[in-house]
Chains A and B, each alone.
Chain A
Amino acid sequence: DAKTTQPPSMDCAEGRAANLPCNHSTISGNEYVYWYRQIHSQGPQYIIHGLKNNETNEMASLIITEDRKSSTLILPHATLRDTAVYYCIVRVAGSNYQLIWGAGTKLIIKP
């Protein structure tokens, strides 16, 4: 079973910031939060990951709460090409290679 909970779907207007929440209340101290996305009919694409500090890269920002029980992925200026399913994944401690995927959030960017 996935260790994360995400809303099944969200809409966002083009040009606005898309904020995607994720709950991971049972996360362990040495587990990272990873975000991937999957555009229709393609393989998953890595976006960002973090442990406890907020992270930013050219694609997105990741905000992790102080208690690490939840996080938010922020796409600062969403475009139509950001329409995809976004997955929040907590890496399994001790089995680092095995990513456990939930159903994700289907993000639809509207013009």
Chain B
Amino acid sequence: NAGVMQNPRHLVRRRGQEARLRCSPVKGHSHVYWYRQLPEEGLKFMVYLQKENIIDESGMPKERFSAEFPKEGPSILRIQQVVRGDSAAYFCASSPTGVDGYTFGSGTRLTVV
């Protein structure tokens, strides 16, 4: 999965804390997507962003979750007041066109204790 960098790889948070997940897309890609994966399940779409814009956040919970992709710097998925049910692997993908050529990162595994 060279190109899309996600950090941290593993993140442990206590209930009620905030989690910040970072994603640096492939150089030149301006489309970023976040997916969540629970154990033994496929990925679930959360949000699609282009530089400075949220295009589709239909898969993201209305409360506690937010995402941004600023003009400079990585995309950030932010989860406030984490609960045990937020424990999952979060994957970021980027694309040059928004339609094809998706490249995925290695994911961030969030554990809420």
For chain B, the count of residues having a C-beta within 8 Å of the partner chain is 28
Interface residues of A in 9-57 (CB under 8 A from B): 41-46
Q: How far is the CA of A46 from the CA of B44 in the complex (A)?
A: 17
Partner of B99, one of A42, A46, A97, A103: A97
Partner of A43, one of B1, B56, B100: B1
Q: Which residues of B contact A95 (CB under 8 A)?
A: 56
Contact B98 A43 (CB under 8 A): no
CB distance from A108 to the nearest CB of B (A): 15
Q: Given known contacts A42-B1, A44-B91, A45-B1, is B106 in contact with A100 (CB within 8 Å)? A: no
Q: Which residues of A contact B69 (CB under 8 A)?
A: none
Q: Is there a chain A Cβ closer than 8 Å to B113's Cβ?
A: no
**Which of B14-22, B35-43, B60-68, B78-86 lines the interface with chain A?**
B35-43
Q: How far is the CA of A99 from the CA of B43 in the complex (A)?
A: 9
Partner of B42, one of A41, A42, A102: A102
Contact A96 B99 (CB under 8 A): yes
Interface residues of B (CB under 8 A from A): 1, 4, 6, 31, 33, 35, 40-45, 48, 55-56, 59, 91, 93, 95, 98-100, 102-107
9 A-B pairs with C-beta separation under 8 A? A42-B107, A43-B4, A44-B93, A45-B1, A87-B42, A97-B98, A98-B48, A98-B59, A99-B43
